[in-house]
Chain A
Amino acid sequence: MLQRLRYLPFLPVYVAVYFLFLYLPILLLPVFSFNDAATTTLPLAGFTTKWYASLWGNTVLLQAARNSLVVGVCVSLLSTILGICAARAITRYRFRGQKPATGLIMAPLFLPEIIVAVSLLMIVLQMGLELSLVTVILGQVVFCIPYAMSVLVSGFEGFDRSLEEASYDLGETALGTFRRVTLPVVAPAIVSSLLVTFTISLDEFILAFFLSGTEPTLPVYIWGQLRFAAKLPGVLALGSLMILASVVLLTVAEVLRRRAERRTRATLAP
């Protein structure tokens, strides 16, 4: 039974302070990105969009954005495809070593990222590989698979095997069944996984910093810009855009994930 929360006078204050601490810095980002001054000090000097405009002329930044896009798309595709295989194995079959295998796939979520980044860097250098976007992609895929898998498992869990059997039974082939039943039913979960992993890749810094070599992604570029005080307002504008993109992508992903869950649940209900 849920209990009604007893009213404690300090509770609203605590909640307010907590949210301020969490979101005020992030809210300041867009505020200062529209501020007509090169420094982030109050009072505000006036409204401008010139920092956003300056982003367009910056070829290094645009190159970094392009790198991030390439990495993001590759990482989301790869980790979702691998996540589909893992999620299907976990939800569909019972096999020896299933629990430990699941645990090991999820483990990167809890490993210190910087340690993993350093060890990956050592291995890549040992093998004599060139640092490039490819190494960033490989590193980020390892970290994104757990996210992809948890989104996909919740989408596949309700997927009822008899749906595929019903399709065969009605004369459809294995390929046709995948196209006409399996894919459409789990599609929202797959799209959701793509969006989540893309967003994570877009924001990811540590792996990209260690493994990107001469091709920075956006977070690595931002890190580099922070040394120059004059570049700060441009970074704020860029950061605001990235927050906006992340929020939009994650919201869409969550809506799709819930829809997938509802849909598969509905087939099971008697």
Chain B
Amino acid sequence: MPDRPMIAIENVSRFYASYRALDDVSLEIGAGEFFSLLGPSGCGKTTLLRLIAGFDVPTSGEIRIDGVTSTLLPANRRPTNMVFQNYAIFPHLDVGENVAYGLKRLKLDAAEERRRVSDALDQVRLTGLDRRKATELSGGQRQRVALARALVMRPKVLLLDEPLSALDKKLREEMQVELRSLQKAVGITFVLVTHDQYEALALSDRIAVMFGGRIAQVATPKEIYQHPRTRKVADFLGGMNFLGARLVAERGSDVAVETARFGTIRLERPKGFAAPDGRVTVGIRPERLRLLWDDERAPHELVGRVENRAYFGEVTHLTIGVDGLEKPLSMIETNDYGADDLPLGAEIRLAYDPEAFVLLAEDGVGR
């Protein structure tokens, strides 16, 4: 939990007729935090961002920004500024006029206004481009203008609505690094909406994963990747092998489950976990399974055969059939030892670490 919440969302819902775009969401975002709202399209992440910006009003619940109740405050009176998905650069103004747009209302003297505009352009590395026409900008430049236009207002919170989705892959990765260092430099709260799990993992201090108008989990990138709370969260954040298991013992904060082929596994019991019929799901990430070569041995081994293989350059994705398992396992292996040359049907041994398993709650249970 953040020390001082910059944004407090309390039991906020937004219904459109009978459609629940947001369903009783509560969340605190700390001052200076880089916070991401992650989820598939239609999960309510953009609705939540627009409620924070003031473009929409919740059906119920309360929003406080920097301690001020802002639920009904219009967008033009909030200390938040937004970078739009399509950037919304004013087409009839040049770069400098775009950046100065919000400053005009502050009635600064001309020199001060010029200074703030050029500082903002420096910040996003567009120095000297202030006379460039809005219609003559590249995608990356438009994004920087949108950033500068928002930052020049010195907001307490910067809201970013899928700001990188319109850029090609290489530029997107560059901008990710830049966004992160920009946030560290200006030190204000960033709230990013994205459907790209890698973007959320790479940029954020904390991530809220959303499905169907609800928050499924809020945690740091590492925590959310390594200890996803539910099957859906695990699935959304990269690959995961799911295994059916049976609860055999519960002791304090630990549980023991019995799985086919992997045997009995001890796991930490997640908060609010319940399995009334004793059936549970456990998961292990593909990269936590490892091929054993030649006479290499491991404390926990399993025998299988290669059913499918996909070459990804630096790694190879393997599908391994194991007798006694319902579904084949997927694993990711570096190509250092020749995983990319394994013939289909080849018998292999794989090693696993029982510590790498996570116990997953069924979705919608235990919230």
Contacts and interface: CB of A to CB of B under 8 A. Distances in A.
Interface stretch (A84-92, A102-110, A136-144, A158-166): A158-166
A169 B91 contact: no
Given A168-B76, A173-B76, A268 B53 contact: no
A187 to B, nearest CB: 8
A268 B86 contact: yes
B188 interface: no
A266 B137 CA distance: 10
A181 interface: yes
A154 interface: no
A181 B90 contact: yes
Contacts of A263: 91-92, 135
Interface in A118-172: 160, 162-163, 165-172
Interface centre among A172, A184, A267 (most CB of B within 10 A): A267
B91 A171 contact: no
A270 interface: yes
Interface residues of B, number: 30
B218 to A, nearest CB: 26
B74 interface: yes
A208 interface: no
B105 A169 contact: no
Nearest to A267: B91
Nearest to B106: A171
Contacts of B53: 169
B105 A171 contact: yes
Interface string B69-86: 000001111001110111
B92 A185 contact: yes
Contacts of B106: 171
B300 to A, nearest CB: 49
A264 interface: yes
A167 B101 contact: yes
B102 interface: yes
A270 B139 contact: yes
Interface string A232-270: 000000000000000000000000000000111011101
22 contacts: A162-B84, A165-B82, A165-B84, A165-B88, A166-B90, A168-B54, A168-B75, A169-B54, A169-B55, A169-B75, A171-B105, A172-B105, A176-B105, A181-B90, A184-B92, A185-B92, A263-B92, A266-B134, A266-B135, A267-B86, A267-B91, A270-B86
Contacts of A176: 105
B91 to A, nearest CB: 4
Contacts of A173: 76
Closest 9 CB pairs of A and B: A170-B102, A270-B166, A162-B88, A166-B88, A266-B135, A168-B75, A267-B91, A184-B92, A162-B84
Contacts of A268: 86
B149 interface: yes
Contacts of A172: 76, 101-102, 105
Interface string B123-163: 00000000000110001000000000110010000000000
B89 interface: yes
Nearest to A180: B101
Nearest to A269: B139
Interface in B158-172: 166-167
Contacts of B135: 262-263, 266-267
A266 B138 CA distance: 11
A80 to B, nearest CB: 20
Contacts of B150: 169-170
Given A168-B74, A168-B76, 5 more contacts: A160-B88, A162-B88, A166-B149, A169-B75, A170-B76
Nearest to B81: A169
**Most central of A163, A166, A168 by chain B CB within 10 Å:** A166
A176 B54 CA distance: 18
A180 B74 CA distance: 19
A165 to B, nearest CB: 6
A74 B320 CA distance: 79
A204 B28 CA distance: 66
Interface string A194-211: 000000000000000000
Contacts of B54: 168-169
Contact of B84 (A166, A180, A262): A166
Contacts of B134: 266-267
A37 to B, nearest CB: 54
Contacts of B102: 170-172
B74 A170 contact: no
A262 B53 CA distance: 30
Contact of B153 (A167, A168, A171, A270): A171
A104 B266 CA distance: 72
A193 B81 CA distance: 35
A181 to B, nearest CB: 6
Contacts of A162: 84-86, 88
A164 to B, nearest CB: 9
A167 B149 CA distance: 11
Contact of B75 (A165, A180, A181): A165
Contacts of A262: 135
Given A185-B91, A185-B92, A264-B91, A170 B101 contact: yes
Contact of A163 (B76, B90, B139, B167): B90
Contacts of B90: 163, 166-167, 181, 185, 267
